[in-house]
Structures are given as structure tokens and as C-alpha cells.
Amino acid sequence: MKFLLVEDNYDLASAICARVRSDGHVIDHADKISDAMEFAQVGEYDLILLDVMLPDGDGRDFLRYHRANNRTTPVIVLTARSQISDRISLLDLGADDYVTKPFDHAELEARCRAVLRRNLGTAQPVTRLGNVVFNPIAGSLMVGDVVTNLRNKELRLLELLIHSPGQIFSKQKLVDRLFSYDDDVSENAIEVYIGRLRKHLEGSQLRISTHRGLGYRLDHG
């Protein structure tokens, strides 16, 4: 999954980024609204973590802009405001959830997982397709009786493909989703991860097909 963090507190932002990356996700960081808007316009994100008090304005203005432009990316607001009226206002503006500062990082991670599951339309994190059982939280892939512990990029690549079966992803699209803007990586890296996943999926009904000049697609059956 790819996250966008909008937070001007450097220490907090660094801690959140470290935790998100340790879980194998990709995260971009903006410390002001103007930068966040630029990220949101050119990038595609699975989840946005949004602070309210920012140097160039109120995070609620970004949330209004985000929803007014029919952007459906879920948003979790990070706020120091604990009044019920403030939290109701954030939810009414289109926030999917909120976390009150100071917060435990384990709580934030749990809320992220819950929001992402709701956005995908499933209450359970485990995906079952034929003889394949994929658990992104455990980082495991089971084909029949064989269990493989996936590396971070393999995990996030399979997560992306398995939630969009039949959709073709170009190499550039996969690079954008699996790496942050600060990463220096070529499209050839995608070929490596695709090759590893194909090997892990041997013996299953899932197949990653190559469409020359277009990209890759996960097929079932």
C-alpha cells in the first residue's frame, strides 16, 4: 500500500514513516498543504494521514478540496483536538477516521488496517482464491500446503495485483505504487519482483501474465 503523510512535526513524521516502511508500505511525506496537494494531484495513494494544524493552513481545507474533487482515497486525521464537536466536524467533512494526539503507534496501525479493509469492501484481511491463501498482515502466501513468507516488495506487489484481478498494471504504474518519490529505482526492478511472485505462485490457479507494451495482469483460473 502507498500512504501520504501530511504532518509538520518532524519527529512525529519520522516516527510514522519509519513504522509504515517497516510494515513494507510506501509513504510520501509533505509538511504543508501546498506540497500535499501537489502529491495528491500527481500520485495515487491508498491512504492519507492528515494533520490539522499546518504551517500554511488548516488540514480541513485540504480535506474539503480532496472530497470536492471527488477523490475517494480514505483519510485518517491526526488531531490534538479532543472535543466531540471537533471530531464530528472532521467526520462530516469526509474523514474516514481520526486519531487523537498523542497516540500509540500500534493504535494508528490498527486504524489504518481497519480503514483499508473497509475501503476494499472486506472485513477480513485474508484473501482466498482457489488453493491460494494470502495474508498481508502476516506477510504470508499459502499455495496448497506450502507457506511462503514474502519479502516487503513482493508482499505489496501481490497485494496490489490480487485486489485488482484482471487489471493490467504498467511497469511505471507499479514503480509509482511500490516506491516513494525519493527512491531511485528503474522499471527493471519490477521484472525481478514479478519473477519472484511467479515462482511463489507455482502450483496455484493464479498466473501473472505479461502483456507486451502494456504491463502485467493477475489471472485466476
From 85, 120, 155, give the residue that closes a domain. Answer: 120
Number of domains in the chain: 2
| Peptide linkage before 165 cis (omega within 30 of 0) | no
Residues 193, 40 contacting (CB under 8 angstroms): no
From 104, 120, 136, give the residue that closes a domain. Answer: 120
Helix axes 10-22, 105-120, angle to 10 degrees: 60
CATH at residue 39? 3.40.50.2300
- Domain extent for 142: 127-220
Q: Residue range 184-203: average pLDDT?
A: 92
In this structure, are 168 and 204 located in the same domain? Answer: yes
Helix axes 152-162, 188-200, angle to 10 degrees: 80
Distance separating alpha carbons of residues 115 and 118, to the nearest angstrom? 5
Using pLDDT thresholds of 50, 70 and 90, give the confidence band for residue 76: very high
Distance separating alpha carbons of residues 122 and 117, to the nearest angstrom? 5
In this structure, are 134 and 105 located in the same domain? Answer: no
CATH at residue 158? 1.10.10.10
In the chain, the percentage of residues whose pLDDT exceeds 90 is 64
In this structure, are 96 and 167 located in the same domain? Answer: no
Dump pLDDT digits (tens) for 105-138.
Answer: 999 999 998 998 888 766 567 888 889 999 988 8
pTM here is 0.77
130: left (phi over 0), alpha (psi -120 to 50) or beta: left
207-213 own/partner pairs: CB under 8 Å, 24+ apart: 208/161, 211/168
The C-alpha R_g of the chain, in whole angstroms, comes to 18
In this structure, are 7 and 116 located in the same domain? Answer: yes
Quickly list H helices, the chain.
10-22, 33-42, 59-68, 84-93, 105-120, 152-162, 171-178, 188-200
Q: Which of 19-33, 80-94, 146-160 has the lowest mean pLDDT?
A: 80-94
- Residue-averaged pLDDT of the chain: 91
Q: Which of 101, 124, 197 is nearest to 157 (CA)?
A: 197
Coil, strand or helix: which one is 183?
coil
Dump pLDDT digits (tens) for 139-166.
Answer: 899 999 999 999 989 998 999 999 888 8
From 120, 147, 165, give the residue that closes a domain. Answer: 120
